[in-house]
Structure 1
Amino acid sequence: MNSRSPAGIVAGVDGSPQATAAAEWAAQEAERRGCALHLVHAVNTGTVTLSPRASEAVTDLILKNAQSVLDEATGKLAAAHPGLRLTGDVVPRDAALAVLTAAEHAELAVVGSRGHGGFASLLLGSVSLRICAHSSCPTVVVRQTASSGDHILVAIRDERDGEALRFGLREAETFGLPVRAVHVWSPVVADVAHAAPMIDELGEEAHQHKQLLDHTCDPVREDYPDIPVRTDHLTGATAGTLVEASRNAALLVIARHQPAPHFGLRLGGAVHAVLHHAHCPVAVVPV
């Protein structure tokens, strides 16, 4: 067992429909990039019984069943993508830690929105959230039914998000799609009764946000002159605006600004909301 994958794409699998959809998305992405795909199936073998012999037998059974799940996932992907370089491991540890470790030197991690654990009503599982919060590489979260959109959507918060845009442009290049870069802001004026005397101030504020968007996007898109990039600065609630904008996107790319502590899931309100409600796969890019 090699817990660290070679450079390429790492995908977590557990036999759930969401993880199966994520693995298929990862396989297609690996083909687009021309890189390898490594599957990780993590299982908890911490079974304790009164008999050491019985405990060992239960552990062996758990690992055998886990290997069957991995073999089934690998077999389906190999049949659907015969030219794909495909490897896989069963890892006896916490699922999030298993994927995070495997992805330490990977280009990309891909996970389903949730696995077999937890409540069926959950839109996003704790394992996926932890991986998005702590992964050192970009992480894509895929729902059971991934939409087919006509562009790559990139959320731009401030000038630190150039790396997220660069990731989005690379994805657009592999997908053969244009990019839409969106910056969402809320006007300072909240009292409509006093808005009229402040039209000039609002216009100046809008101009500043447009400048922020241009200053972030212009240097990056110069490196991708053949990819059309549309920029929009929109007013409203960031999370809701991005979720609505994702309806026709093939992928929504958003930056994770702050490195999360060892314990906790500080992803930010907008990131958390789009992971739960976006209409397309979401890529979280650490910046």
Structure 2
Amino acid sequence: MSTQPSPIVIGYDGSPGSRSALQWAAVAADRAKVPLRIVEAFEVVIITRPSPGHIVPLDAVREARQAALDALAGDIRTQYPGLQVDTSLVGDAAARTLIDAAQDARLMVLGSRGLGGWSGLLVGSVATQVTTHADCPVVVIPHDLRARAHEGPTVVVGVDGSKVSAKAIDFAFDQAESLHAKVVAVHTWTSPFLTYADGASMLQFDEEKIREEARLLVAESVAGAAAEHPDVEWSTELAMGSAAQALVRRSESADLVVVGSRGRGGFTGLLLGSVGQSVLHHTHCPIAIVH
């Protein structure tokens, strides 16, 4: 008895960012041979004072938006023959709709900023809420995504030895195998001397020993995923300093950056850690947040 594979879900609102996200999601779904579900939300706003202009009945709005979604799905089917494309139009808030849609999704994809909100924000409130609360991995496509010159397809993953980091590594290798890409495992640490004036401290700190321990941590963390994906080439990048800055820097020449929703540092009650938030807001390429 065959079961329907979980779909890749794309949050769509007609904005340039969501159109870029739709193309990314369609390519990913076609490559993985899984269904693509296009989800659009519209929230009914109750007007309590007179408003100029013609008021369009709610049923007419729904019909028009459904027709536009159906046409969009038809275009995607034409571009990717054989790809199963479904649509869902939900009369509710966008973030709540997408978080609900993520419950049975293989992957959620959305643009970093939609039609609503402040145009100066790098990442909109919907993307922030969905990456924080979705049950499945979430890929966010930057609104100003541009083609980058690099040696070959690359998936960058942040490694810190935590359980969530392990899930991010598995996801990164899965994506790299699908993309025929290499994996770059990035690990950073902070020198305690940086917290003291002029580097003066009574602390003992052997940078070479720390580097070797970091190399071993990455090797142990990646071993399982590397064994399951023997054809995926991978390498390690070690650096002293901020993990977020290292990942953002690496995103300039990457096809995808993968981070766990929360690592070893920070407050355990946070659903999305500081590194994930920083990279989400400043990445130059698509970013995947893995819970």
- TM-score normalised by L of structure 2: 0.85
* Distance (Å, rounded) in 1 between the aligned partners of 2:270 and 2:197: 36
* Distance (Å, rounded) in 1 between the aligned partners of 2:211 and 2:97: 45
In structure 2, the partner of 1:252 is: 257
Aligned partner of residue 104 in structure 1, secondary structure = helix
Deviation, 1:198, is 7.2
Write the mapping of 1:213-252 to structure 2, written as runs, cut at 5 A. 213-252=218-257
Q: Is the 8 A contact 2:5 2:34 kept in 1?
A: no
In structure 2, the partner of 1:170 is: 174
Q: Is the 8 A contact 1:6 1:106 kept in 2?
A: no
* Distance (Å, rounded) in 2 between the aligned partners of 1:207 and 1:193: 26
Q: Is the 8 A contact 1:21 1:146 kept in 2?
A: no
Q: Is the 8 A contact 1:130 1:265 kept in 2?
A: no
Deviations 1:57-104 (A, max 9, x none): 632133133224423432332222222110001100111111111121
In structure 2, the partner of 1:275 is: 280
Greater displacement, 215-224 / 18-27: 215-224
Deviation, 1:195, is 6.7
* Distance (Å, rounded) in 2 between the aligned partners of 1:182 and 1:88: 37
Deviation, 1:234, is 1.2
* Distance (Å, rounded) in 1 between the aligned partners of 2:270 and 2:73: 31
1:179 equivalent among 178, 183, 191: 183
Aligned partner of residue 103 in structure 1, secondary structure = helix
Deviation, 1:49, is 6.1
* Distance (Å, rounded) in 2 between the aligned partners of 1:195 and 1:147: 45
Aligned partner of residue 103 in structure 2, secondary structure = coil
In structure 1, the partner of 2:154 is: 151
Deviations 1:137-196 (A, max 9, x none): 100001243545621111112242111111000000110111101012111222485579
Deviations 1:204-256 (A, max 9, x none): 22222222212211222111111111012211122111101111111000001
Q: 1:38 to 1:202 in 2, by over 3 A?
A: same
Q: Is the 8 A contact 1:21 1:142 kept in 2?
A: yes
* Distance (Å, rounded) in 2 between the aligned partners of 1:21 and 1:194: 47
* Distance (Å, rounded) in 1 between the aligned partners of 2:146 and 2:70: 23
In structure 1, the partner of 2:266 is: none
- TM-score normalised by L of structure 1: 0.87
Gaps of at least 5 residues in structure 2 are: 50-54, 264-268
Q: Is the 8 A contact 1:47 1:59 kept in 2?
A: no
Deviation, 1:46, is 4.1
* Distance (Å, rounded) in 2 between the aligned partners of 1:69 and 1:121: 28
Q: Is the 8 A contact 1:239 1:274 kept in 2?
A: yes
Do residues 75 (structure 1) and 63 (structure 2) align? no
Instruction: Count residues in correspondence.
Output: 273
* Distance (Å, rounded) in 2 between the aligned partners of 1:21 and 1:167: 22
Deviation, 1:285, is 0.4
Q: 1:137 to 1:146 in 2, by over 3 A?
A: farther
Do residues 188 (structure 1) and 188 (structure 2) align? no
In structure 1, the partner of 2:11 is: 12
* Distance (Å, rounded) in 2 between the aligned partners of 1:16 and 1:26: 15
Gaps of at least 5 residues in structure 1 are: 51-55, 259-263
> In the alignment, residue 126 of structure 2 is paired with which amino acid?
V
> In the alignment, residue 159 of structure 2 is paired with which amino acid?
I
Greater displacement, 110-119 / 64-73: 64-73
Q: 1:92 to 1:166 in 2, by over 3 A?
A: same
Q: 1:195 to 1:221 in 2, by over 3 A?
A: farther
Q: Is the 8 A contact 2:42 2:94 kept in 1?
A: yes
Q: 1:194 to 1:141 in 2, by over 3 A?
A: closer
Greater displacement, 83-92 / 205-214: 205-214
In structure 2, the partner of 1:96 is: 95
